[in-house]
């Protein structure tokens, strides 16, 4: 969550920053007023507790002096003050809960470098990459056999069975078959091997407690997009970012430990409640997909390099796979709730003639660490870590772009050589 101390110290700065994200001034003013009320009530409750403590001391003195009448009078006064203190404490807790609830709905302050804008139409394209661009080659020209949508390619080859997936779990839950399933596994193993030089591999649970989901900012704001298991107070994870962020929840790290770099391959589950009827064909938007995530706890000084490293690794994989992609700098209004700065990678998928988002690389500053209470000791004292994460990569749309881009004139798919150690014979043919 945002730094309440900064809001008290620089209300105008915080209000202006949040306005870039479309947060109305009234929402910020309401938090400021609740904070003032909370501190006032806290002072009142503490003053009553101090009076009660002083009365207890005076009761003891009266008893030692054998002044029972004075002792009883003071005890009666203390009981009255105790009831007032109880009421004051309850009121203080209620205001504190209201303040926290409103703070949990406020997004992070955007970084000054984030472009101006309120939606995806204002995102800034930074650059494009395709095979041969470094040697001056023009943007690729795709042949007719590459202009076939991946769901049609997959049906011909028998590698994606959307109908059976829907029979088993409902629409937008894909079922991969044969070489389709093997391709998914090969992509994951390729990525994990590329990251093992610097990132510790983690295999986290696929479910998370409400507190764990709160730590990243997915709850409470995005509850409608998540899959809940209310009986057990659990949620299916929408990304490995959720468990990785909370691995050190409530801990104080040593500065010498940082940065701590982690990677995880998990299934990810998203209801996409607001996307019904939009971009739902094939693998364009699915409720379950596999993803390799990269994550780092770091100091503020290390954050920029950590962010750049994750972005470079994601781009490196796309280049190894030979996929055309572009880099987008997300504007302030299109940032995720917890993000201060996000760079998106989108691959070009010729069969559907669209750019598909396959990675978001985000720097959260100390927003998530405040919610998860992850700090570190430094020469300046104890302070919150910064968190950085990104996909390297999310596979459903990569899978789609690969089978379209590498479809051959004879309707087979010839995969890039980098997958040979993980896939074997690289040509996907129709299932016999």
Active site (annotated) includes residue 315: no
- C-alpha 412/C-alpha 421 separation (Å) is 20
Active site (annotated) includes residue 357: yes
196 and 56 housed in the same domain: no
pLDDT at position 279 is: 75
Residue 292, beta-bridge partner list: 265
First-to-final CA distance of the chain: 55
Edge-to-edge order in the sheet of strand 354-363: 124-129, 325-329, 341-349, 354-363, 386-394, 288-298, 260-269, 200-202
- 214 in a structural domain: yes
The answer to which of 70-84, 149-163, 302-316, 363-377 has the lowest mean pLDDT is 70-84
- C-alpha 208/C-alpha 249 separation (Å) is 13
Spot the catalytic one: 285, 341, 365, 407: 285
- 307 in a structural domain: yes
222 and 157 housed in the same domain: yes
In 10 A of CB 158, how many CB atoms? 16
What is the per-residue pLDDT across 155-204, written as a single tens digit (0 to 9) for each? 999 999 999 999 999 999 999 999 999 999 999 999 999 999 999 999 99
345 and 406 housed in the same domain: yes
- C-alpha 419/C-alpha 295 separation (Å) is 24
Q: What is the DSSP string of 40-101?
A: HHHHHHHHHHHHHHHHHHHHHHHHHTT-HHHHHHHHHHHHHHHHHHHHHHHHHHHHHHHHHH
- C-alpha 423/C-alpha 108 separation (Å) is 42
In 10 A of CB 97, how many CB atoms? 11
Tokens 């391959």 belong to residue: 265
- 113 in a structural domain: no
pLDDT band at 112 (very low <50, low <70, confident <90, very high): very high
- 223 in a structural domain: yes
- C-alpha 172/C-alpha 160 separation (Å) is 12
DSSP state of 231: G
160 and 222 housed in the same domain: yes
User: Is 90 exceeded by the pLDDT of residue 432?
Assistant: no
Whether 273 and 293 have beta carbons less than 8 Å apart is answered as no
pLDDT at position 272 is: 76
Give the CATH number for residue 77: 1.10.287.40
Q: Of 419, 426, 396, 311, nearest to 361 (Cα)? A: 311
Q: Both tokens of residue 390?
A: 């990104």
Question: Where among 36, 70, 104 does a domain terminate?
Answer: 104
pLDDT band at 278 (very low <50, low <70, confident <90, very high): low
Spot the catalytic one: 20, 271, 370, 397: 397
Spot the catalytic one: 188, 215, 246, 360: 360
pLDDT at position 303 is: 98
Q: Of 316, 324, 293, nearest to 393 (Cα)? A: 293
Average pLDDT of every residue of the chain: 96
320 and 352 housed in the same domain: yes
- CA-atom Rg of the chain in angstroms: 28
Whether 269 and 169 have beta carbons less than 8 Å apart is answered as no
58 and 183 housed in the same domain: no
- C-alpha 210/C-alpha 273 separation (Å) is 19
pLDDT at position 336 is: 96
Residues in the chain: 432
Q: Of 23, 10, 40, nearest to 102 (Cα)? A: 23
- 12 in a structural domain: yes
Please enumerate in sequence order all residues whose Cβ is within 8 A of that of 136, keeping only pairs 6 or more positions apart, or say none: none
- C-alpha 371/C-alpha 387 separation (Å) is 12
296 and 236 housed in the same domain: yes
- C-alpha 397/C-alpha 39 separation (Å) is 50
Q: What are phi and psi of 382, to 5 degrees?
A: -85, 130
- C-alpha 380/C-alpha 208 separation (Å) is 34
**What share of the chain in percent tops pLDDT 90?**
97
Spot the catalytic one: 37, 51, 93, 357: 357
DSSP state of 107: P
Question: Where among 104, 136, 161 does a domain terminate?
Answer: 104
What is the per-residue pLDDT across 40-73, written as a single tens digit (0 to 9) for each? 999 999 999 999 999 999 989 999 999 999 989 9
279 and 387 housed in the same domain: yes
Q: Of 184, 364, 213, nearest to 292 (Cα)? A: 184
- 115 in a structural domain: no
- C-alpha 90/C-alpha 221 separation (Å) is 26
User: Is 70 exceeded by the pLDDT of residue 81?
Assistant: yes
- C-alpha 418/C-alpha 320 separation (Å) is 7
317 and 372 housed in the same domain: yes
**What share of the chain in percent tops pLDDT 70?**
99
Question: What phi-psi label fits residue 198: left (phi over 0), alpha (psi between -120 and 50 degrees) or beta?
Answer: alpha
**Segments forming the whole domain that contains residue 335:** 120-428
What is the per-residue pLDDT across 360-381, written as a single tens digit (0 to 9) for each? 999 999 999 999 999 999 999 9
- 112 in a structural domain: no
Give the CATH number for residue 216: 3.30.930.10
189 and 99 housed in the same domain: no
pLDDT at position 400 is: 98
Spot the catalytic one: 41, 248, 270, 371: 270
User: Is 90 exceeded by the pLDDT of residue 344?
Assistant: yes
pLDDT at position 275 is: 56
Mean pLDDT of 376-399: 97
- C-alpha 160/C-alpha 171 separation (Å) is 14
148 and 58 housed in the same domain: no
User: Is 90 exceeded by the pLDDT of residue 406?
Assistant: yes
pLDDT band at 277 (very low <50, low <70, confident <90, very high): low
Residue 383, beta-bridge partner list: 376
User: Is 90 exceeded by the pLDDT of residue 276?
Assistant: no
pLDDT at position 431 is: 82
239 and 130 housed in the same domain: yes
* H/E stretch holding 377: strand 375-378
Whether 122 and 344 have beta carbons less than 8 Å apart is answered as no
* H/E stretch holding 381: strand 381-384
Q: Both tokens of residue 201?
A: 């591999």
Active site (annotated) includes residue 285: yes
pLDDT at position 227 is: 97
Collapse the DSSP code of 287 into the 3-class scheme (helix H, G, I; strand E, B; otherwise coil) and give the result. Answer: coil
- 110 in a structural domain: no
Angle (CA) 384-387-389 rounded to 5° is: 175
User: Is 70 exceeded by the pLDDT of residue 33?
Assistant: yes
Total of domains in the chain: 2
pLDDT at position 150 is: 98
């Amino acid at each position: 969550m945002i730094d309440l101390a900064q809001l008290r110290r620089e209300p105008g700065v915080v209000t202006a920053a949040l306005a870039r994200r479309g947060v109305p001034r009234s929402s910020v003013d309401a938090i400021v007023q609740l904070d003032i009320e909370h501190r006032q009530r806290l002072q009142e409750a503490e003053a009553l507790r101090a009076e009660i403590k002083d009365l207890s001391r005076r009761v003891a003195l009266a008893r030692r002096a054998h002044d029972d009448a004075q002792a009883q009078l003071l005890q009666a006064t203390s009981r009255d003050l105790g009831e007032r203190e109880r009421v004051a404490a309850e009121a203080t807790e209620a205001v504190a809960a209201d303040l926290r609830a409103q703070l949990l709905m406020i997004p992070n302050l955007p970084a000054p470098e984030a472009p101006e804008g309120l939606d995806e139409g204002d995102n800034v394209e930074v650059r494009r990459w395709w095979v041969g661009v470094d040697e001056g080659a023009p943007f690729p020209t795709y042949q007719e056999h590459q202009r076939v949508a991946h769901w049609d390619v997959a049906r011909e080859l028998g590698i994606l069975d959307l109908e059976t997936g829907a029979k088993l779990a409902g629409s937008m839950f894909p079922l991969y078959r044969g070489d389709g399933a093997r391709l998914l596994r090969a992509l994951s193993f390729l990525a994990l091997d590329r990251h093992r030089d610097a990132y510790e591999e983690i295999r986290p649970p696929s479910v998370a407690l409400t507190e764990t989901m709160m730590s990243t900012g997915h709850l409470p704001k995005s509850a409608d997009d998540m899959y809940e298991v209310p009986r057990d107070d659990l949620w299916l994870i929408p990304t490995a970012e959720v468990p990785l962020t909370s691995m050190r929840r409530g801990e104080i790290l040593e500065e010498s430990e940082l940065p701590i770099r982690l990677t995880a391959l998990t299934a990810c589950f998203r209801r996409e409640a607001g996307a019904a009827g939009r971009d739902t064909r094939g693998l364009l938007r699915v409720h379950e997909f596999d993803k390799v995530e990269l994550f780092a706890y770091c100091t503020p000084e290390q954050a920029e390099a950590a962010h750049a490293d994750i972005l470079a690794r994601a781009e490196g994989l796309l280049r190894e796979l030979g996929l055309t992609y572009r880099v987008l700098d997300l504007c302030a209004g299109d940032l995720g709730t917890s993000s201060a700065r996000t760079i998106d990678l989108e691959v070009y998928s010729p069969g559907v003639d669209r750019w598909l988002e396959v990675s978001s690389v985000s720097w959260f500053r100390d927003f998530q660490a405040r919610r998860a209470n992850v700090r570190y000791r430094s020469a300046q004292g104890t302070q919150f870590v910064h968190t950085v994460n990104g996909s390297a990569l999310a596979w459903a749309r990569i899978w789609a772009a690969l089978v379209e881009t590498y479809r051959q004139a004879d309707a087979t798919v010839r995969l890039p050589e980098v997958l040979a150690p993980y896939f074997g014979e690289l040509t996907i043919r129709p299932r016999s």
